[in-house]
């Protein structure tokens, strides 16, 4: 092992040889003739089949490898540490006890070597499953890692949640006993193989490939974004009827003023690019409000706007604005009551007792994403939007307008160096622009 291979994560290769050797031992231990005698073990009220005691393991190793008890305990300890055997009592304590404590063999599906390289994605799916099953009751360290992963691989989160649900559904179709066993196995696997903390991108060398894939996919975003907005970029594609700075005609600005009777088509199209685009356009927001009123959920947008005013408004007005919001949107029986989940509601109501600029953030975020995921997509499919799109103006290009990309050569102002040379050879000349 040179420093070079160590640096690039080459230690994996060395580890793999060890795993292969350990697996040989494990397979031998499960040999039907010469392997260990398995029996049913009692664990509290359940009877676990195919289990063995710590003492059994040590005895077998001593016998078959001709070693003494100390060495056997040492070797057996590694088998437990690397997850090939897992304890049933105190699953988090990965030691081999030379007594009646029950143990089981880990299924090859969950062998470290089989599932190499460990991916964050895999771990995220596991935590998501556990989170759903236990309704949020994860261990502290699991909660921390779950939220770290949520940030790190946020772009895959839809997949993570979907996969967690699917796997849970598939497991429900199995017998209860099998399900419990699988859960034990999975838990044991992740105790050992969970990605290291804090997660450093380059720790697993095999992850370099996955990182490149991810980087590639992430960077496609920029290509997509630029392509989507290209027609809206005046410097690149020109604008209709003309660019005011070039033609000295302000028609473009007049047509695109904040509130106009009929907006331009490009503008209405832009509302469909993202929820943020819709909300940041005064007219878009107005249209969306009209749509929400039809759906009887306009209080959501009003609430969001009121929260924005607190976040960005004057400090002196915060307390009174929070009061207003509580009265109008949050108090029981409020005229425009917003539907927030109970946890967020409790937290917000607590925070209102000592109002500050960010006290509404959680509730505001909740409502924002509610509108984004639910009302916004439906708005884009609605008649209101579609008719706006068809009514929208496509301005005529003004005859005098000049598009930036022309075939004939256009010279920008000559460089000062060139101008200096010219003046030297030709004498003083007229201004360059």
Partner 1 sequence: MCDQTFMAATFGPCESCGKPSPLMNIYIKNEAINYCSFCVELMACQGLQSGESVASLKRECESLKKKLEEERGKLNDVELHQVADKIEVLGALAIKTRRVLKGHGNKVLCMDWCKDKRRLVSSSQDGKVIVWDGFTLSKENGISVPCTWVMACAYAPTGCAVACGGLDNKCSKAVAMHTNYVSGCTFTNSDNQILTSSGDGSCALWDVESGQLLQSFHGHTADVLSLDLAPSETGNTFVSGGCDKKANVWDMRSGQNIQSFESHVSDINCVKYYPSGDAFASASDDATCRFYDLRADREVAVYQKDSVIFGASTVDFSLSGRLLFAGYNDYTINVWDVLKGTRSSILFGHENRVSRVRVSPDGTALCSASWDHTLRIWA
274-303 residues near partner 1, rule: CB under 8 A: 275-276
- In the complex with partner 1, the residue whose CB is nearer, 104 or 145, is 104
264 binding partner 1? (CB under 8 A)? no
* Residue 380, CA atoms < 13 Å, CB-side half-sphere: 16
- Which listed residue (54, 82, 83, 122) binds partner 1 by CB under 8 A? 122
214 binding partner 1? (CB under 8 A)? yes
- Which listed residue (166, 293, 341, 374) binds partner 1 by CB under 8 A? 166
33 binding partner 1? (CB under 8 A)? no
- In the complex with partner 1, the residue whose CB is nearer, 153 or 283, is 153
- Minimum CB separation of residue 149 from partner 1 in Å reads 12
Q: Which parts of 378-397 interact with partner 1 (CB under 8 A)?
A: none
424 binding partner 1? (CB under 8 A)? no
245 binding partner 1? (CB under 8 A)? yes
Cα separation, 210 vs 153, in Å, equals: 12
Instruction: Name residue, tokens 């304890």.
Output: 87
121 binding partner 1? (CB under 8 A)? yes
Main-chain dihedrals φ then ψ at residue 89, nearest 5 degrees: -90, 140
- Which listed residue (25, 38, 266, 289) binds partner 1 by CB under 8 A? 38
3-state secondary structure of 281: coil
DSSP annotation string for 152-214:
HTGGGHHHHHHHHHHHHHHHHTS-HHHHHHHHHHHHHHHHHHPPPSS--TTSSTTHHHHHHHH
**432: which 2 tokens?**
């360059």
- Minimum CB separation of residue 415 from partner 1 in Å reads 4
Q: Which parts of 308-337 interact with partner 1 (CB under 8 A)?
A: 308, 311-316
**Phi/psi zone of residue 401: left (φ > 0), alpha (ψ -120 to 50 degrees), beta?**
beta
174 binding partner 1? (CB under 8 A)? yes
- Which listed residue (104, 129, 145, 366) binds partner 1 by CB under 8 A? 104
Q: What is the DSSP-derived secondary structure letter of residue 108? A: G
Beta-bridged to residue 52, according to DSSP, are 103
106 binding partner 1? (CB under 8 A)? yes
Cα separation, 166 vs 117, in Å, equals: 23
Residue 76 · residue 57 · CB < 8 Å: yes
- Which listed residue (20, 46, 226, 396) binds partner 1 by CB under 8 A? 226
- In the complex with partner 1, the residue whose CB is nearer, 286 or 387, is 286
91 binding partner 1? (CB under 8 A)? no
**136: which 2 tokens?**
């949020």
- Minimum CB separation of residue 265 from partner 1 in Å reads 16
3-state secondary structure of 31: coil
- Which listed residue (15, 64, 81, 208) binds partner 1 by CB under 8 A? 208
Total residues at the site for partner 1 (CB under 8 A)?
99
- Which listed residue (11, 65, 141, 159) binds partner 1 by CB under 8 A? 159
Beta-bridged to residue 85, according to DSSP, are 105
Residue 340 · residue 303 · CB < 8 Å: no
- Minimum CB separation of residue 332 from partner 1 in Å reads 29
3-state secondary structure of 383: helix
432 binding partner 1? (CB under 8 A)? yes
């Amino acid at each position: 092992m040179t420093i070079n291979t160590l640096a690039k994560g080459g230690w994996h290769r060395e580890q793999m040889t060890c795993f292969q050797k350990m697996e040989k031992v494990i397979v031998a231990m499960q040999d039907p003739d010469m392997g260990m005698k398995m029996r049913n073990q009692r664990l509290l009220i359940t009877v676990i089949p195919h289990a063995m005691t710590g003492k059994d393991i040590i005895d077998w190793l001593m016998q078959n490898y001709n070693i003494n008890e100390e060495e056997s305990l040492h070797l057996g300890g590694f088998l437990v540490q690397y997850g090939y055997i897992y304890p049933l009592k105190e699953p988090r304590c990965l030691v081999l006890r030379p007594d009646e404590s029950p143990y089981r063999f880990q299924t090859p599906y969950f062998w470290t070597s089989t599932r190499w390289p460990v991916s964050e994605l895999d771990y995220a799916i596991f935590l998501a499953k556990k989170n759903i099953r236990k309704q949020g009751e994860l261990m502290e360290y699991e909660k921390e890692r779950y939220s770290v992963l949520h940030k790190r691989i946020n772009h895959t989160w839809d997949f993570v949640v979907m996969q967690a649900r699917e796997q849970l559904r598939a497991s429900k179709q199995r017998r209860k006993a099998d399900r419990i066993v699988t859960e034990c196995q999975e838990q044991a696997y992740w105790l050992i193989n969970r990605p290291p903390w804090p997660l450093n991108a380059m720790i697993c060398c095999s992850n370099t490939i996955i990182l490149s894939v991810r980087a590639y996919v992430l960077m496609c975003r920029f290509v997509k974004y630029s392509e989507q907005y290209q027609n809206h970029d005046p410097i690149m594609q020109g604008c209709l009827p003309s660019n005011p700075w070039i033609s000295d005609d302000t028609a473009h600005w007049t047509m695109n003023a904040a509130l106009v009777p009929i907006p331009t088509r490009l503008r209405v199209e832009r509302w469909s690019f993202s929820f943020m685009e819709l909300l940041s356009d005064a007219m878009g927001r107005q249209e969306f409000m009209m749509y929400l009123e039809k759906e009887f959920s306009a209080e959501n947008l009003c609430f969001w706007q009121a929260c924005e005013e607190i976040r960005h408004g004057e400090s002196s007005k915060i307390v009174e604005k929070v009061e207003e919001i509580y009265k109008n949107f949050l108090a029981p029986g409020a005229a425009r009551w917003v539907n927030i989940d109970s946890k967020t509601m409790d937290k917000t109501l607590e925070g209102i007792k000592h109002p500050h600029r960010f006290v509404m953030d959680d509730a505001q975020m909740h409502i924002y994403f509610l509108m984004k995921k639910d009302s916004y997509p439906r708005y884009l499919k609605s008649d209101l939007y579609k008719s706006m799109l068809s009514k929208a103006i496509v301005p005529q290009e003004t005859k005098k307008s000049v598009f930036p990309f022309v075939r004939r050569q256009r010279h920008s102002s000559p460089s000062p160096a060139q101008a200096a040379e010219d003046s030297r050879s030709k004498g003083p000349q007229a201004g360059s622009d």
